[in-house]
Amino acid sequence: MKKLLFLLTLISSLVVNAQDTGSIQGTITEENGMPLSGATVFIKSMNKGGVTDFDGNFTIENVTEGTHEVSISYIGYETLDQSVSVTSGNVTQLNVTLNESNNVLNEVIITAGKKPQKITDVPATVNVISARDIEEFPSFNVGELAARQKGVDFIRSGVLGTGINIRGFNSAFNSKNLQVTDDRLSTLIATGLPMGSFSTVTKDDISRVEILLGPNGTLYGPNAHNGLVSTITKNPRQSEGTTFAIGAGNQKVVTARLRHAQIINDKFAYKIHFERSQGEEFNYVDSVYVGTTAYKELDLDRDFDTQKYGASLFYKPTSGSELSGYYGHSNNNNIAVTNAGRNQIKDWSIDVAQLKFVSKNFFANTYYTWSNTDDTYAMNQRTQNYVSFIENGFSEEEARDRSFTEQWFQTGPNQGDGIVLQRGAVFKDASKRFNAEAQYNNNWSNFYLTLGAQYQLDMADSRGTYLLDEDGIDLDQTGIYTQLEYKLSDSGWGFLLGGRLDNHELYGSNFIPKVAVTKKINNGTFRLTYGKGIAVPSILNLKGNLFGGLVLGNGEGFTLTDGTKIQKLDVETIHSYEIGYKGKLSDNLFLDANAYYNQSDNFISPLRNIADAANGNNVTHIGDQPIGDVVDGSDGSFILTYLNFGHVDTYGLDIGLNYYFNDSFRTSFNYSYFGRELDKNDLDNDGNLDGQVLESELPINTPNHKFSLGLHYNKGKFYGAIYGRFVEKYDFFSGINVAAETQDQDGDGVNEIVEDAQVGRTWNYGQLGGFTVDANAGYNFNDNLSLGLSITNLFNAKNREFVASPIVETLVSFELKYKVNFFKKKTSNN
């Protein structure tokens, strides 16, 4: 009898509960009526929600009777909060159209936590280059838009070359800002450098770029040291149609692009893209010094071109999951600046194949990258080789042929008294890389969990040209990470704790923690964060063998004649503390500000000579092997390598203001300050081991002050923007490259650095920086056809923005774009 009464009571309770609940269902679309698959619909009071299917439909069942605040969000669109009344036993209909985000505080981003989050909830400083920003920038080089972001050190090294740095420690070989594209590393394999123009992605396929300031190594691993740049491409289900674009400009620039995306049915969709761009770099020739005599770079080719194409196939096994496959290819010819001189890039190709699975709680990703070049070479070394043969009576033809691999070294007074040294200038590359990642995320009430693991296998192969890779170099690394968040919606407090354990075959294990506290107050969020970042030695740093052993990597350490031990390279670390606020100060004014303090240790130095041949103190061993066994013919009398050194504290602040005059017109203002404290009495900061600590040994290379002001207009068929950027003049030292004012660095009364003169093995043109104005405008003739104009350096300011680079003169480009969707009507009726 008791069991029967209990059963009846339970059934009665369930019936009553069922009668007290209803459901919400509806469709989420974008402005043009296309369904948004994967949009999030969330009931705040019940901490429950759903995700839209292929047709943008959703259903949330067992919703308690009453009025609820429902939040609808989708990456790149404004978050919409709407009150919904639910009655027991009934279905409440909620159909919503989301608009593209024009309001910086309504952005939904994905990079910071590897999941969709409203930008005000993210415990980090994040810049977003939106799809609209990209659409309204009529230039093939979308990298130019990074110049308009707060806290970013942006450089132009020519027509094609653009790059960014974040919060100091820049160089001409900068790998401290990790770059990813669609969850895959967008970095070269052996050097760790950002791919830049080598990327396989085209402009018209980019949905958005998210730039995170400060360390982000907990979720992304090594080299998210100073920051992270994440490029996210378009899903064909939300971007169906065909885009044709052609462009032209001065410096003989011509570009043509095609993108096509199509939904086949409720399971399959695909997209393809193609681009061909070419032009001519500014008329600039770098000086190559042999002693005190300057020579022009041999066979300098200023023509550049890039060709890229790719395709993706998307498959939805269920309404809440998606499997996608991608293949992309790029081929490049251009000039690249390095800290040892400039390289002539010749037919350097990159290929990528990726397979990715995404669902509500699970993420799995694997991809394979391979790199190939046979004819790329270092212009400095080749020119020096050529001069050595010409000056010793060899013919022009023979000097040119032998300049790729050899240098003549005169040993006596008579012509022909000499020996040949192997000083290869050619860089071959057949490197490969395999990556895999799996991640689980979920939430229970106010508690959120992210748990994942990553694996990477680098297979470097220079075919013996610039690496110690006679038997190949295979290096693997594994990382496991977790991130825990707890959010108190009533009080507005949020807490985050994350950690990553990363293990590398050569430099061992490192723990990378992250802690954050956030507090919502009225229309904004305060945050306090701590994070650690590491910059790891690249394969080139560890296993390099350039110019016949003149430059060697330091993966095993060295021994000198007197028994001195040079320790092998370890990781460079940064501990970063940040306080920030992001919010609305009034109905039209938005603020995003932060202040930070960093402690940096164990810098990876520029190339340093560790031998002292004048005193007979040569390098005798690499690791436990005699140097002659590793590098044929080397006596260890002159070895350039990389060292760890130093400690420095840096600090700064970034302020971003956006004021909306109306829906069509807004202005943006960005300001950044950067400072440092260097103890010149601490010999650990002596980067070249000469007993003196000099500013030039510390690779800061960042201005103290920079600010920018932009005006943006978009109404009807017209759009436009004008953007002024000021960078305070600053010194830049990177390897052989010097760009600095005249200075006496050691206080001995002699200027070691002289402006507009030879300094070491290069010419010093003086400090970098200055004021420039960029502008762009366009007109949409109709929904299909548009014409745009972009002008870089509108007033032709004569500023040099990077070492070993020309003054960037005015660049003008036009772009005609035609877009059509043959399938829109069919999809709408699906």
Give per-residue pLDDT as tens, 645-704: 888 899 999 999 999 898 789 999 999 999 988 777 777 777 666 777 777 777 789 999
Looking at residue 206, its pLDDT comes to 94
pLDDT of residue 340: 86
The residue segments making up the domain with residue 136 are 121-536+571-607+642-828
In a domain, 145, yes or no: yes
For residue 827, what pLDDT band results from cuts at 50, 70 and 90?
Answer: very low
- Domain end, chosen from 39, 71, 100, is at 100
Same domain, 188 and 311: yes
Indicate which CATH number applies to the domain containing 59. Answer: 2.60.40.1120
**Residue 76 confidence (pLDDT):** 64
Taking the chain, what is the end-to-end CA distance rounded to the nearest angstrom?
56
Residue with tokens 């038997």: 471
Helices and strands in the chain, H and E counts: 8, 56
Query: What radius of gyration do the chain's Cα atoms show?
Result: 29
What distances in angstroms separate CA 619 from CA 631, 632, 735, 803, 821, one per listed residue?
A: 12, 14, 21, 31, 66
Report CA 358 to chain centroid distance, whole Å: 23
Q: d(Cα 90, Cα 62) in Å, to the nearest integer? A: 10
Residue showing tokens 């001065």: 250
Say what the pLDDT of residue 15 is: 43
Dihedral over alpha carbons 800, 801, 804, 806 (to 10 degrees): -50
In 3D space, the residue among 386, 421, 423 whose CA is nearest the CA of residue 401 turns out to be 386
* Domain annotation covers residue 732: yes
pLDDT digit string, tens, across residues 320-371: 889 999 999 999 999 999 988 999 999 999 999 999 999 888 999 999 999 9
Query: Same domain, yes or no, for 702 and 762?
Result: yes
| Beta pairing class for 341-359 and 362-378 | antiparallel
Which pLDDT tens digit goes with each residue over 53-69? 757 788 888 888 888 88
Cα dihedral sign, 423-426-427-429: negative
Q: 700 and 800: one domain?
A: yes
Question: Does residue 433 belong to any structural domain of this protein?
Answer: yes
CB 707 within 8 A of CB 657: no
pLDDT of residue 78: 73
Kindly state whether residues 154 and 290 are assigned to the same domain.
yes
Round the average pLDDT of the chain to a whole number and report it.
88
Residue 45, number of CB atoms within 10 A of its CB:
13
Predicted model pTM: 0.87
Instruction: Inform me whether the pLDDT recorded for 2 exceeds 70.
Output: no
What span, in angstroms and rounded, lies between the C-alpha atoms of 819 and 542? 48
Higher-confidence position of 285 and 38: 285
Do 739 and 811 share a domain, yes or no?
yes
- The reply to whether 335 and 388 lie within a common domain is yes
pLDDT band at 215 (very low <50, low <70, confident <90, very high): confident
* Tokens (6 digits) for 356: 């990715």
Pairing of strands 117-118, 108-109: antiparallel
Q: For the chain, what percent of residues have pLDDT higher than 90?
A: 54
252: three-class secondary structure by DSSP: coil
Total domains present in the chain? 2
User: What is the per-residue pLDDT for 13?
Assistant: 46
Q: What angle do CA 51, 54, 59 make, to 5 degrees?
A: 40
Residue 542 maps to a domain = no
Tokens of 406: 């050899």
pLDDT higher than threshold 50 for residue 14: no
Alpha-carbon span 395 to 722, nearest angstrom: 55
Q: What's the pLDDT at 824? A: 58
**With contact defined as beta carbons under 8 Å apart, do 771 and 797 qualify?**
yes
One-letter amino acid of 140: F
Q: What is the pLDDT of residues 722-752, one digit of tens each?
A: 999 999 999 999 888 999 999 988 778 889 8
The CATH code of the domain that includes 225 is 2.40.170.20
Query: Is the predicted pLDDT of residue 205 greater than 80, yes or no?
Result: yes
Q: Please give the pLDDT value at position 481.
A: 95
76 phi and psi angles, rounded to 5 deg: 90, -5
Among the candidates 100, 131, 150, a domain finishes at 100
The residue among 746 and 299 whose pLDDT is bigger is 299
Is residue 584 included in any domain, yes or no? yes
Same domain, 78 and 212: no
Shared domain for 673 and 579, answered yes or no, is yes
pLDDT class of 616 with cuts at 50, 70, 90: confident
226 and 80 in a single domain? The answer is no
CA distance 389 to 476: 42
What is the distance between the alpha carbons of residues 330 and 348, in angstroms, rounded to a whole number? 8
Domain boundary among 100, 130, 146: 100
Question: Residues 409, 423: contact at Cβ < 8 Å?
Answer: no
pLDDT band at 10 (very low <50, low <70, confident <90, very high): very low
The answer to whether position 304 is within a domain reads yes
Half-sphere exposure of 344 (CA within 13 A, CB side): 22
Residues 580 and 661 in one domain: yes
What is the arithmetic mean of pLDDT over 463-469? 91
Q: Do 37 and 170 have their domain in common?
A: no
On whether residue 551 sits in a domain, the answer given is no
Per-residue pLDDT tens digits for 534-551:
988 999 999 999 888 888
Mapping DSSP to helix (H, G, I), strand (E, B) and coil, where does residue 336 land?
Answer: strand
The reply to whether 166 and 92 lie within a common domain is: no
Could you tell me where the beta strands, DSSP code E, fall in 74-109?
80-86, 91-93, 96-98, 108-109
Cα angle vertex 383, ends 382, 385, to 5°?
65
- Quick count: other Cβ atoms within 10 Å of Cβ 274? 16
Retrieve residue 427's tokens: 């860089």
- Residue scoring higher pLDDT (650 or 12): 650
68 in a structural domain: yes
Instruction: State pLDDT tens for residues 126-170.
Output: 888 988 889 899 988 888 999 999 999 999 999 988 898 898 888
